[in-house]
Amino acid sequence: MTEELERIEAEALRTIGDAPSLKELDEADIAYLGRKAGKLTGLLRNIGSLSADQKPLFGQALNEAKARVEAALTDRKALLADAERSARELAETLDITLPGRARPRGRLHPLTTTMNDVKRVMTGLGFEFFDGPDIEEYKYNFDWLNFPPDHPAFDEQASFYVDDTHLLRTQTTALQGRFFELHREPPYRIATVGHCFRYEAVDATHSHTFHQVDGFSVGEGLSLADLKGVLAEFSRGMFGPDVVVRFRPDFFPFVEPGVEVAIKWGDRWLELGGAGLIHPNILRRAGLDTEKYTGFAFGLGIDRMPMIRHKIDDLRLFLDNDLRFLQQF
Ligand code: FA5
């Protein structure tokens, strides 16, 4: 039996020494020291067949063998646990020299930045902003603005009609009537930015859907000089100190006199919009004393502003949503 004990101990120590991982080590633990089927523990059951003087000797030898096997298990366990931790740590190591993954970043559309700049510059000039609806009533888009019913400007600003009383607004000037109905006491400087729509063929400087900024002011003694001063200051704010602004006579039913506003654009002029002194008919309709009050108004195309700022000769590029173009801003 002593030989059997030595054989099993040697086998146990070999198995433990060879165990490649903690899992095999646990299996070896059960196979040799397990309470029920362990090979070493099993030897104890045969102790009854030994003579009385052999029993204590064998018992002691068995206990010593178990102690050695347990010690081997503990040592190997520590070794394997160490190795497994190092392997795991190695696998989890962060290589901080790897290049990062670039996240696609959104940015504002050039028309949005232009509109934000318009608001910033106009606010700096003392204008207060209001919003009007895209689907507008005729009376604000035309009637309030002194358009006689058969006026050719109806054709000029060919419209998308919605029903008998509504259309997609052709000009942000439609805000005037909405504001005048509030009957605020002058002086004031009012502005709005937003969409405009016209039934129009699309080309390099025209679109069916575009944006305008309108501004108007009513007060005592306002003149064309004030209008020109505000527009010149606005243009400098938008296009820099060297901008050249040109005013030429033009006609709009809602101003008298009226002017066209153009900006020097390379060796050409780009029409930015119209302006003038608010027609007395409109001030009267607003319940204002035209002996006391005068006003100026202007309406400018926003889509043409980034064309001037970025020297781009076709406004369709801003609306095509081609990322190769838009990512340059
Ligand atoms: C008007 O719309 C007037 N409401 C401007 C105004 C306001 C005059 C207040 C006097 C007092 P006009 O139709 O010219 O005017 O348009 C003004 C500007 O809007 C144009 O100069 C242009 O810059 C822009 N615009 C007009 N139509 C289009 C279009 N189809 N596509 C892009 N921009 C346009």
Cα–chain-centroid distance for residue 166?
34
pLDDT of 157: 64
**Residue listed under structure tokens 């040592």:** 75
Q: Which residue has the higher pLDDT, 314 or 217?
A: 217
Q: How confident is residue 9, by pLDDT bands cut at 50, 70 and 90?
A: confident
pLDDT value of position 153: 55
Instruction: Decide the pairing of beta strands 135-137 and 209-220.
Output: unpaired
Q: How far is CA 317 from CA 54, 273, 320, 323, in A?
A: 103, 21, 5, 10
Nearest atom, ligand 1, residue 273 CA: 21
Could you tell me the two tokens for 102? 């670039």
Model pLDDT for residues 300-312, shown as the tens digit of each residue: 999 999 988 888 8
Give the mean model confidence (pLDDT) for residues 185-195: 97
Q: Please tell me the predicted confidence (pLDDT) of residue 96.
A: 84
CB 68 within 8 A of CB 60: no
Return the axis-axis angle of helices 54-92 and 2-18, rounded to nearest 10°: 0
Based on DSSP, count helices (H) and strands (E) in the chain, helices before strands: 13, 9
H-run or E-run covering 167: strand 166-168
pLDDT at position 245 over 70: yes
Q: What is the pLDDT of residue 124?
A: 97
Tell me the per-residue pLDDT of 109-118, one tens digit each, with 9 for 90 and over: 999 999 999 9
CB atoms inside a 10 Å sphere around CB 246: 13
Mean pLDDT over 201-222 rounds to: 94
Q: How far apart are CA 276 and CA 281, in angstroms?
A: 14
Indicate the top mutation candidate among 196, 200, 316, 318 to test ligand 1's pocket, ranked by most ligand atoms within 8 A of CB: 196
Q: How far apart are CA 2 and CA 6, in angstroms?
A: 6
What percentage of the chain has pLDDT greater than the value 90?
Answer: 53
Q: What pLDDT is recorded for position 188?
A: 98
Alpha-carbon gap, residue 274 to 74, rounded angstroms: 93
Question: In angstroms, what CA-CA distances link 209 with 135, 175, 196, 301, 321?
Answer: 13, 18, 6, 11, 14
* Distance (Å, whole) CA 257 – CA 224: 9
Average pLDDT value over all residues in the chain? 91
Report the pocket of ligand 1 as residue ranges, CB < 6 Å: 157, 171, 173, 198, 200, 206-207, 210, 212, 214, 252, 254-255, 258, 271-276, 297-301, 303-304
Q: What is the distance in A from the centroid of ligand 1 to the CA of 274?
A: 6
Q: Which of 304, 309, 313, 317 to mutate to test the pocket of ligand 1 (most atoms within 8 A of CB)?
A: 304
Q: 129-163: per-residue pLDDT in tens? A: 999 999 999 999 999 999 887 765 555 567 888 88
Work out the angle between the directed axes of helices 110-124 and 224-239 (0-180°, nearest 10). Answer: 140
The ligand 1 atom nearest the CA atom of 156: 13
Residue 209's pLDDT band (cuts 50, 70, 90): very high
- pLDDT-above-70 percentage for the chain: 98
Ordered alpha helix ranges (H), the chain: 2-18, 22-33, 39-45, 54-92, 110-124, 138-141, 153-156, 175-180, 224-239, 280-285, 304-310, 316-319, 323-326
Tell how far the Cα of 27 is from the centroid of ligand 1, in angstroms. 87
- Position 151 scores a pLDDT of 64
